[in-house]
Chains A and B, each alone.
Chain A
């Protein structure tokens, strides 16, 4: 099973510019989480802090009892072996072909023979749909292929924590769905903890078990998917619907006057940019038929049912209505 990541009171600034502060959350072991947020709110910075590429000013990141903010370099390199990271553009090594790129972690960290490596690499390439492209250089392929190759490389050492930076950027909706499915299948197969940083609403609605949102230098919320998907918090509501009406502006802050003016426009019939209210709990992606049951679903259900009395009514309703007869029996809820 994957590893739990505990983040406590984390703050990060560049010079005098505060990126975010007092971020506290727990990525539950083996579950899929998504971090949402408007562009420029430091989602990628958060991800880089989690792997120790950037040092936060204060706070803790606990993985297996090791605080990544304050540990020694040796401990950091050891802990990093638990991670698989997919960077935005794949971050493939430009001087190596795809095969060598994907074989790189194996050649560096294991004593496997070349034939074993070959088998493993070709298997992974087949899984991400890159069979036959072994000899291509990263410069010769499309962005989507680079992304999939980056994912294949990140998975070579069977990581227990997988961090994914914007899996959808530069991909069409269909390919994004394939990547989403791939991540869910992966979670079912290896039971790793997955954190996806994205601003794709469709992905956020269907993929994760937990969702968080960063806005205005703070973590607005983090919790079970139902909580955020049914939230009445203005920033969350606006973000989910992609509307111009709300606290999120073109620049980071939006002033009262602009908000009032936009509200007036909308009331006069001006289109606010959104299509319909997409809030509400929609069914989650399932692993491809034939793959093992996703253990995270059961664990999360137990966890959520333990804290359900603390959740807002809309979320509670969403959770209860998504339970089937068997679950209802298990948690002792009468059939309505």
Chain B
């Protein structure tokens, strides 16, 4: 007989446990054949199409703000020549993966969660299980992989657009030297920075996909339950993202020595 413990916070821990369980299930089901290629392509295209333009539009002001801030800061301490170096680091390592993940969770994840949620309350998922098809392998794996894939590509786009935005504002608005901005890129930044940026984006994509799927598969009752689930999936993803970002950044700074140190 299974008994549910009833101490304060037990429900929250149970939910967390089930979220992790789904994450593990997804990883376990990834190598299982047949891979749902059409579902994967469809989801990839969908997530990319809803998050591509917003991501580009968000990354311009994001890069600009960082460049402007750093520009005035470096002017104060007399290190203008390092403006480009610092802003490229900030954009690639921090801003880009986070912006990417926020958009994937906000634009792609919410739609994914709503879709799965309405399928759940219409008993489609139950029907699939009864027909002997594992919904995690059939529906969730392609979605999570698509979120990870789009995150990897989008991260590249956001980095480039962000750096361009920073360059434009630094050079045009603050009268920075174009050559110095570009030349200082490699003063502080190194190749592992690019790697950690991509790794972060892929992990964030995984989290966004799993959280959206989890809330979609376990919505409350009725249409309102689905609405609440979508809302929660976005909020939970955001919270997890920033926590994960902190952990990954700390680890990276400990493991990879900064350039020139």
Decide whether A and B are members of one complex. Answer: yes
Quick check: which of B68-76, B96-104, B127-135, B160-168 contacts chain A, the rest being far away?
A: B127-135
- The count of chain B contact residues (Cβ–Cβ below 8 Å) is 17
Contact B130 A53 (CB under 8 A): yes
Contact B119 A89 (CB under 8 A): no
Taking CB atoms and an 8 Å cut-off, the chain A residues in 56-106 that contact chain B are: 57-58, 77, 80-81, 83, 85, 87-89, 91-94, 104-105
A116 at interface by CB-CB < 8 Å: no
Picked from B119, B122, B134, the residue with its CB within 8 Å of the CB of A77 is B134
Contact B123 A89 (CB under 8 A): yes
Range of interface residues on A (Cβ < 8 Å): 20 to 34
Contact B2 A94 (CB under 8 A): no
Q: A55-B2, A57-B2 are in contact. Are A91 and B132 (CB under 8 A)?
A: no
Taking CB atoms and an 8 Å cut-off, the chain B residues in 117-147 that contact chain A are: 118-119, 122-124, 126-134
Q: A55-B2, A57-B2 are in contact. Are A85 and B119 (CB under 8 A)?
A: no
Please name the residue on chain A nearest to B126 by beta carbon. A53
The answer for the CA separation of A53 and B1 in the assembled complex, in Å, is 17
Q: Select the residue from B130, B132, B133 with max chain A CB neighbours within 10 A.
A: B130
Q: A57-B2, A94-B119 are in contact. Are A77 and B132 (CB under 8 A)?
A: yes
Contact B123 A57 (CB under 8 A): no
Q: B1-13 interface mask toward A, CB cutoff 8 Å, 1 = contact, 0 = none?
A: 1101000000000
The answer for the CA separation of A150 and B128 in the assembled complex, in Å, is 12
Q: A55-B2, A58-B1 are in contact. Are A80 and B132 (CB under 8 A)?
A: yes
Please name the residue on chain B nearest to A84 by beta carbon. B130
Picked from A15, A91, A94, the residue with its CB within 8 Å of the CB of B126 is A91
The answer for the CA separation of A45 and B101 in the assembled complex, in Å, is 39
Taking CB atoms and an 8 Å cut-off, the chain B residues in 132-186 that contact chain A are: 132-134
A15: chain B residues at CB < 8 Å are 4
Taking CB atoms and an 8 Å cut-off, the chain B residues in 208-259 that contact chain A are: none
Q: How far is the CB of B192 from chain A (nearest CB, A)?
A: 41
B134: chain A residues at CB < 8 Å are 77
Q: A55-B2, A57-B1, A58-B1 are in contact. Are A92 and B132 (CB under 8 A)?
A: no
The answer for the CA separation of A55 and B132 in the assembled complex, in Å, is 17
B128: chain A residues at CB < 8 Å are 93
The answer for the CA separation of A83 and B131 in the assembled complex, in Å, is 8
Contact B133 A108 (CB under 8 A): yes
The answer for the CA separation of A233 and B129 in the assembled complex, in Å, is 38
Interface residues of B (CB under 8 A from A): 1-2, 4, 118-119, 122-124, 126-134
13 contacts between A and B (CB under 8 A): A15-B4, A53-B126, A80-B131, A88-B123, A89-B123, A91-B124, A93-B119, A94-B119, A94-B122, A104-B131, A105-B131, A109-B131, A109-B132
Give 20 new A-B contacts, CB below 8 A, not counting A87-B126, A92-B127, A153-B131: A53-B129, A55-B2, A58-B1, A77-B132, A80-B130, A80-B131, A81-B132, A83-B130, A85-B130, A87-B127, A89-B122, A89-B123, A91-B122, A91-B123, A94-B124, A105-B132, A108-B131, A109-B131, A109-B132, A150-B127
Closest 4 CB pairs of A and B: A91-B127, A91-B123, A87-B123, A85-B130
